[in-house]
Amino acid sequence: MSAAARPAPGGLTVAEARERIAAALPRVQETERVALRQALGRVLAADVISPIDVPAHDNSAMDGYALRGAELPATGQAVLPVAGQALAGRPFDGMPPAGAAVRIMTGAPMPAGLDTVVPLEQVQVLDAGTPGERVQIAAGSVRPRDHCRLHGEDLARGQCALPAGQRLKPADLGLLASLGQAEVAVWRRLRVALFSTGDELRDAGEPLEEGCIHDSNRYALLGLLERLGVEVLDLGIVPDRPAALEATFLEAAARSDVILTSGGVSAGDADHTRALMARLGQVDFLSLAMRPGRPLAFGRLAGAGREVLLFGLPGNPVASMVAFLVFVRDALLVMSGAAAPQRTMLRARAAQPIPKRAGRTEYPRGLLGLDRGEPMVHLTGAQGSGILSSMSQADVLIVLEHERGPVAAGDWVPVLPFDGLL
């Protein structure tokens, strides 16, 4: 029987799980004002309305000579006297006489009546530095209104410069600064409590006893959370003992908006995490039609008179990262007040065959490149859910859709770039 014809492994589809999660997301309600220097990555709590026109005046986009476009020569050459200069912060005073040019620097206000700039390299300067300085301009050098930035062409007074829900990027900070905004209203940071569970786990730097492993999941998830700009409460490693687990869950519920754990959510797990989740709140233990990352816990826990959202990720390192990227990342952004994220999916040809079973979404890890001008994606070695090097070496997730069967070399496949995600 071919891989495509095998019975579907079953479970909730990725799309169904994302819809279920999206329908249950609360949002932060508290806002604060922060200085522009501290605003990178924060989410705007209100529209930013421009209080001014940007730019505030017509200005030059080039170093050169400003003149009237109607006075450009139709044929041959024109020689214009230079009436003075305009610098950024020191504009030309008055209106130049007809038939005259003004030497102008980038960003300087256009002198009254002038509407065109000829770049320095396109003029010949005659008698430079003397009272009789002139410029010679050839026909066709520029067109009327070239190299002139118009008053209000970027933003007009009263226009929405940035919408509520925008997660501020470096360019947004520059835009806000151009409006004179020294601080901005943002939603408070989402608080996420993170811990790992298991008697076998040891922290980085600790010696390993027989049968123990270092806790890699928590460090990968810490990195993913820090990229989102949330406030992280790192509760470390919790031993697989009911009293310790319950105390940690209750502390996390009292101090955070979201609890994020890894491990202990599979049906066959022989520990107490799953049972405690079920007892302390309303938690669904989802079996997903995806690979890696089949088990996922999602729901609410109660503690200190309040409810918080819970994501319980699978214990295998790659599975926990993939599940975070597929389900948790966007949910945390929405809870932080951000507009629903729109992901950019690219397409590339598979460099080699990729085994795939129809009836589940699969996420092999890949490295994107070019082959004779076409995008080509290579698998990053073995793709087991415990092989963390497959994520470390990758720059994309290959997204093999639910109904798709095996992929042949050369087939087109969707890829999700890590840039902006990790």
pLDDT of residue 267: 65
Instruction: Supply angle C-alpha 152, 154, 155, rounded to 5.
Output: 65
The answer to whether the beta carbons of residues 306 and 275 sit under 8 Å apart is no
Ranges 39-48, 176-185, 305-314, 409-418: which has the least confidence:
305-314
- What integer best gives the mean pLDDT of the chain? 92
The three-state secondary structure class of 407 is strand
The torsion region of residue 293 among left (phi > 0), alpha (psi -120 to 50) and beta comes to left
Look at residue 99 and give its three-state secondary structure: coil
Q: How far apart are CA 110 and CA 108, in angstroms?
A: 6
The answer to whether residue 116 scores a pLDDT higher than 90 is: yes
Cα 160-161-162 angle, rounded to 5 deg: 95
Average pLDDT, integer, range 54-60:
95
Q: Which amino acid is at 364?
A: P
Please list the residues that pair with 196 across neighbouring strands: 237, 262
Reduced to 3 states (helix: H, G, I; strand: E, B; else coil), residue 319 is helix
Which residues, other chains included, contact 118 with Cβ-Cβ below 8 Å and sequence gap of 6+?
64, 65, 67, 101, 135, 137, 141, 142, 146, 147
On whether the pTM is more than 0.75, the answer is yes
Instruction: Name the token pair of 422.
Output: 């990790």
How confident is the model at residue 186, as a pLDDT?
98
Q: Which CATH class is domain 3-30+189-335?
A: alpha beta
How many residues in the chain?
A: 422
Scan for tokens 């795939």, then name that residue: 356
* 346-417 topology per CATH: Beta-clip (2.40.340)
Statement: residue 332 has pLDDT above 90: yes
Top-tier CATH class for 59-149: mainly beta
Model confidence at 269, in pLDDT bands (50, 70, 90)?
Answer: low
pLDDT band at 263 (very low <50, low <70, confident <90, very high): confident
Apex 22 CA angle, 19 and 28, nearest 5: 180
| Mean pLDDT, range 197-220, rounded to an integer | 89
The SS3 assignment for 16 reads helix
Q: Which tokens belong to 145?
A: 């209104």
For residues 288 and 11, is the Cβ–Cβ distance under 8 A? yes
Per-domain residue ranges of the chain: 3-30+189-335, 32-54+154-187, 59-149, 346-417
Q: What percent of the chain has pLDDT over 90?
A: 82
pLDDT at 396: 97
Pairing of β 346-350 and β 374-379: parallel
Mention every residue, 6+ apart, whose C-beta is less than 8 A from residue 44.
162, 163, 164, 165, 166, 167, 168, 184, 185, 186, 187, 337
For residue 278, what pLDDT band results from cuts at 50, 70 and 90?
confident
Torsion angles phi and psi, residue 396, rounded to 5: -145, 155
| Amino acid identity for residue 275 in this structure | A
How high is the pLDDT of residue 266? 72
How confident is the model at residue 144, as a pLDDT? 96
- What does the alpha-carbon distance between residue 80 and residue 102 come to, in Å, rounded to a whole number? 9
Query: 32-54+154-187: what fold?
Result: Molybdopterin biosynthesis moea protein, domain 2 (3.90.105)
Tokens of 181: 């905004």
Which residues neighbour 159 within 8 Å (Cβ) at sequence distance 6 or greater?
A: 49, 50
Identify the band that residue 268 occupies on the pLDDT scale cut at 50, 70 and 90.
Answer: low
